[in-house]
Amino acid sequence: MSDDTAAAGGTAPTTATKLVAEALGTFLLVFGAISAALFAADFGVSENGTSLGIGFVGVSLAFGLTIIAGIYAFGPISGGHFNPAVTLGLAAAGRFAWRDVPAYLIAQIVGGLVGTTLIVLIGLFGPGDWLAQAQDSGFASNGFGALSPGGYGLGAAIITEVLFTAIFVIVILGVTHPQRGTAGFAGLAIGLTLTLIHLATIPIDNTSVNPARSIATAVYGGAEPFLQLWVFVVFPIVGGLLAGFLHRALFEKKPAPPAQKEARTR
């Protein structure tokens, strides 16, 4: 339960309620942002040659806006992680109980899969062979080598996922700190950071920093994205754990706050 909910005398959410909120928040993130990538990123050109698609910038904003919405809608219930790397990073930093990690990870993966499954359902009623083309192109999955938008290799993907996930988790831990953070604006800071990360890294590997997002798209992306999925599960988690342990060592000189007093997070 968040501190402000307790202060207001509200009822502490049950474990089941928290897991539902985590699944819904991850669903919102994946459904909204991947829909933007598949339906609107490349929408062709107008009669005068102007692009009608939202491109990399639009997709980056979609990820940022959906996480902002999810944090404010579901963060007061579950903490608003919506990302296995964030959950593990928070646990490493002492902000989240390790015993609750497995259930959160399952809820996030389920929420993401529901998101891409509903996109597939929409695609079934799309024009012509839209769905087949989306799946043939990888369904907005993450990838390196031939699957990288910019042709970047495995090493680039590994470095990108570790470093940018670590940056993301460090920001989350900073803006949600019980004493130093600014809880009311934390969602905005987190969303803008996620936008920046996508602006920088979509050309490298289509940006993961979130294993639940990567799993959700790889399931429908075909054999090659699925074979490369391990990179986008393992290395965001490595980045999240490194950030959590580093933040605890550098900035948490006092004992970490109890898990029940965790601040709102992604």
Return per-residue pLDDT of the chain as tens, 266 residues.
333 333 344 688 899 999 999 999 999 999 999 999 999 988 776 667 666 789 999 999 999 999 999 999 999 999 999 999 999 999 999 999 999 999 999 999 999 999 999 999 999 998 988 899 999 999 999 999 999 999 999 999 999 999 999 999 999 999 998 878 777 899 999 999 999 999 999 999 999 999 999 999 999 999 999 999 999 999 999 999 999 999 999 887 655 555 544 445 55
Q: Is residue 24 in some structural domain?
A: yes
Q: What is the pLDDT of residue 14?
A: 94
Radius of gyration (C-alpha) of the chain in whole angstroms: 18
- Give a yes or no: residue 266 inside a domain: no
Q: What is the DSSP letter of 38?
A: I
What pTM was computed for the model? 0.89
- pLDDT given for residue 5 in this prediction: 38
CB 34 within 8 A of CB 221: no
| Distance between CA atoms of residues 70 and 33, nearest Å | 12
Residue 214 lies in a domain: yes
Domain coverage including residue 137? 3-261
Q: For residue 49, what pLDDT is reported?
A: 63
Q: Do the beta carbons of residue 207 and residue 37 sit within 8 Å?
A: no
Whether 191 is in a domain gets the answer yes
Task: Give how many domains the chain has, as a whole number.
Answer: 1
Alpha-carbon span 18 to 254, nearest angstrom: 27
CATH of residue 257: 1.20.1080.10
Count of residues making up the chain: 266
Amino acid in position 266 = R
Whether 99 is covered by a domain: the verdict is yes
Within a domain: 139: yes
Give just the sign of the alpha carbon dihedral 172, 76, 211, 195: negative
Residue 255 lies in a domain: yes
Chain centroid to CA 111: how far? Answer: 11
206 Cβ contact partners less than 8 Å away, ≥ 6 residues apart = 140, 141, 142, 143, 147, 148, 149
